[in-house]
């Protein structure tokens, strides 16, 4: 599923976050990425979600060469990933239940599917009785479990947790580990980025150790074979890039120039639009007028979804 092939990431000439890192993770694996603070662990996550690109080397996710992925395909690519960040990022103005259901609403799920999935995820993380509380009313462990539930809403192929137990006591830490194990047993590949050696030492899972930006050890090292080139494999992403993009009818009220920008970046539905990042938005090079028009549209769209 994941291949890092001699990946190097430099932020400046004298700052090397990763140096010639190579490893492979297969579908269905549970894997720890460990190392001290500043070792380069979080850089691996940023490269995987295409927040950063490597200085050299190759990164593949299911034969998609991530650094070369067209920017307009990033929102669709990121829907394959479930990520829990170190700072959690739950929406403070929404209850726990609303945080989870909101992630499903923007994927345009039916009301029944939203309710059923939200109930299932709340049960999975043991928070059904806390569903009406806001993030600030939850403990640190409960917030972390809520973030895990929200990240699972889109049924990701890969689940990444960045320091999920960093600020928790040992009891809460093992509760989080147990949830991650159950997620993995359901078939989802799980990558846990951590420096919590007490947690890791009590498991027998594969552990990739990063030290000073280099691969220090790998308890279950696997041979890395670079996938064939795009020309040889004819991956789906090539086909998608060549197709004429058809925009949703919901974009009809927008100006022709803004519709053209959305079409150029394959943002063909409001569900994809609300998932794009600030970096993606900058890449679209919108005019001030287009920016204001798009902001109004998103605000109205989300307001309508909330009313539904």
pLDDT, tens digit (0-9, with 9 covering 90-100), for 251-287: 888 888 888 888 888 788 887 887 676 666 777 788 8
In this prediction the pTM is 0.70
For the stretch 108-135, pLDDT in tens is 788 999 999 999 999 999 999 999 999 9
pLDDT score of 16 more than 50 = yes
Cβ-contact 131, 97 below 8 angstroms:
yes
pLDDT score of 190 more than 70 = yes
CA dist 249 and 234 (Å) reads: 30
For the stretch 145-166, pLDDT in tens is 999 999 998 889 999 999 888 7
Average pLDDT of the residues in 74-84: 88
Q: Would you state the pLDDT for residue 72? A: 81
pLDDT score of 54 more than 90 = yes
User: What share of the chain in percent tops pLDDT 90?
Assistant: 42
Q: Would you state the pLDDT for residue 47? A: 95
Q: Would you state the pLDDT for residue 230? A: 52
Q: Would you state the pLDDT for residue 214? A: 94
């Amino acid at each position: 599923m994941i291949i890092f092939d001699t990946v190097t990431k430099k932020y400046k000439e004298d700052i090397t976050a990763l140096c010639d890192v190579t490893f492979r993770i297969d579908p269905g694996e549970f894997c720890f990425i460990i190392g001290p603070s500043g070792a380069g662990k979080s850089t691996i996550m940023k490269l995987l979600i295409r927040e950063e690109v490597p200085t050299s080397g190759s990164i593949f996710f299911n034969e998609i060469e991530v650094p070369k992925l067209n920017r307009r395909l990033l929102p669709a690519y990121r829907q394959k990933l479930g990520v829990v960040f170190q700072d959690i990022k739950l929406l403070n103005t929404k209850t726990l239940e609303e945080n989870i259901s909101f992630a499903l609403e923007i994927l345009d799920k039916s009301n029944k599917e939203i309710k059923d999935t939200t109930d299932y995820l709340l049960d999975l993380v043991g928070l059904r009785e806390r569903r009406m509380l806001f993030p600030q009313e939850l403990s640190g462990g409960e917030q972390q479990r809520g973030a895990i539930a929200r990240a699972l809403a889109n049924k990701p192929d890969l689940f990444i947790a960045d320091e999920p137990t960093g600020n928790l006591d040992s009891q809460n830490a093992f509760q989080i580990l147990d949830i991650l194990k159950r997620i993995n047993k359901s078939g989802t590949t799980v990558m846990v980025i951590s420096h919590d050696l007490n947690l890791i030492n009590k498991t027998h899972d594969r552990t990739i150790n990063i030290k000073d930006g280099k691969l220090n050890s790998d308890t279950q090292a696997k041979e890395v074979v670079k996938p064939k080139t795009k020309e040889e494999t004819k991956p789906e992403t090539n086909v998608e890039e060549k197709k004429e993009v058809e925009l949703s009818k919901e974009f009809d009220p927008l100006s022709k120039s803004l519709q053209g920008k959305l079409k150029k970046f394959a943002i063909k539905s409001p569900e994809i639009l609300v998932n794009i990042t600030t970096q993606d938005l900058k890449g679209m090079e919108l005019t001030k007028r287009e920016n204001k028009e798009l902001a109004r549209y998103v605000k109205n769209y989300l307001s309508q979804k909330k009313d539904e």
